[in-house]
Structure 1
C-alpha cells in the first residue's frame, strides 16, 4: 500500500508545508505487472481518492461548526499526511506556530480504515478537539500539575533533581486529568460534524472495535471503547431528526 503516496502530495508536520490535492494520474497498463500488484495499485488509488473526498467534504463542515461554536479561534484547518513508514495507525490535532489548527493522519491509519465513514469520523473527532479547546486545556492542566507537585516536593525538603522529577510527574498527571472527558466531548462533536457532512457516524465509530480497548484505567488517556461507541450512538440518535 505504499503506492498510496504518489497519488497525494504529502505534507509532513515537520516540514510545515500545506498539502495540495493533485489530480489522479492516468496510468498506462504495465504489461509486466502481476495481478497482485495491479490489485494493490488499484486499492491504493481508491484509498487515496477516498481520503481526498472525505477531506474535501468534512473540512468545510468542521470549519462551519468551529465558527459557530468558537468564533474567536482560528478555524482554518490544515490537513496533513505523515508518510513515515512502520508507524501504528494514528491521527492527531495540533497547531502551527501562528495558531493555525492542523490535523495529521499517518498513512497507516488511512490504509487501515474500512470505509469513508470511518475516515470521516476520525477527522470529525480530531477537528472537534480543536473546536473544544482541548489542547490548550491539557497544557494548562499540565502546567498546574507541575507547579503543585514541584511545590510539594520543595516544601518537603527535596533536592533540585527530585523537585524536577516531581515537576515532570506532576505535568504528566495534570495532562491526563479530564483527558477521558475530552475524548468523549470530541466523540460527541465529532459525531455531529460527521453526520452533517453526510457520513454515517455510527458506522464510522466501528473503527473503535478494531482498537485495543484501554479499559477504565486510572490516569488513562482514553475511555473504554464501549463508552465511546455509546456516546456516538446516543448523539446520532438525538441528532438524526434535525441534522
Structure 2
C-alpha cells in the first residue's frame, strides 16, 4: 500500500525518528562498514521485503491492539511516503477519522538490511499506538504549556515564551520511557509475527546514538537493544 503523505508536519508529536547520520564524524570508517554491516539489498528486494512484512506484522499488531487496548481503533493503515528527498524515518499518527497510521519513508525501506529490521520498526510504531503514547504526549505538552505560562507570568516573563518552553518540556518528559515501552511491545509483535526482534534491533547500530541527553527524545541505543534482548528472552 503506497500513498503520499502531505500531513507529515501534522504528525510531529507522534513521530519516531530513526534517521541515519550524514556527518562524517558519526559514521564508521569505510573498512569497518564492510566488515560489520550487512550489504544493502536491491530496490526490488527491499520492496518485496516490505510487502511481506506488512502482510505478516499488521494482523499481529491488530490482534495485540484489540487484546491490550480494546477501546482503540486497531485497524492499522500502512503507508509509504514516496518523496525521495526524505531521510530514513518511521512514524505513527492518526488520520482525521482516528484510524492509526504507520508511515515509512522510501529511504528507511531501502536502508533496512533484512525483513527482521522492518518488522521490528513496524512493531515499534504499532506499539506507540497501542500504548496510547500520542495522546499521552499531547496531554503532557498541554499541561507543560499551562504550567510554563503560569510560571512566566508570576515572574514577569513573556507568557507565550513560557508556554512554548513548558510545552516542549512536557512533551519530552516521558518520551524516553515511551520509546522503551514501544521497543518492548514492538519486540513482542515482531516475534509473534515470526521475525527475530534481536536481529531487527541491529538497526540501532547504524543510527546516531543520542546518549542520555537531558530532555532528549530517545534513550541511548544500548538501552534500547538491552530492552529488546530482555523481552525477547522472556517470550
Tell me the TM-score range normalised by the shorter chain.
0.7 to 0.9
Aligned to 1:212: 208
Matches within 5 A, 1:99-138: 99-138=98-137
TM-score by length of 2: 0.84
- Is the contact made by 2:146 and 2:166 (CA closer than 8 Å) also made in structure 1? yes
* In structure 2, distance between residues paired with 1:72 and 1:15: 25
Alpha-carbon separation, structure 1, partners of 2:134 and 2:178: 10
The count of aligned residue pairs is: 203
2:156 match: 157
Q: Distance in 2 between matches of 1:45 and 1:228?
A: 30
Q: Does 1:196 align with 2:195?
A: no
**Structure 1: gaps of 5 or more residues:** 1-8, 17-41
Q: Separation in 2 of the partners of 1:236 and 1:156?
A: 50
Could you tell me which runs of 5 or more consecutive residues in structure 2 were left unpaired when the two chains were aligned: 9-40
| Larger RCO (CA within 8 A; separation ≥ 6) | 2
**2:96: which partner in 1?**
97
Partner SS for 1:13: coil
Report the equivalent of 1:85: 84
**Aligned mates of 1:191, 1:130 — CA distance in 2:** 15
SS at match of 1:212: coil
Give the drift of 1:12. 1.6
Once superposed, which parts of structure 1, at least 4 consecutive aligned residues long, lie more than 3 Å away? Answer: none
Q: Distance in 1 between matches of 2:150 and 2:2?
A: 45
The two structures have a TM-score, normalised by structure 1, of 0.81
Taking the aligned partners of 1:11 and 1:172, their CA distance within structure 2 comes to 30
Q: Deviations over 1:182-241 (max 9, x none)?
A: 0000000000000000000000000000010000000000000000000000000011xx
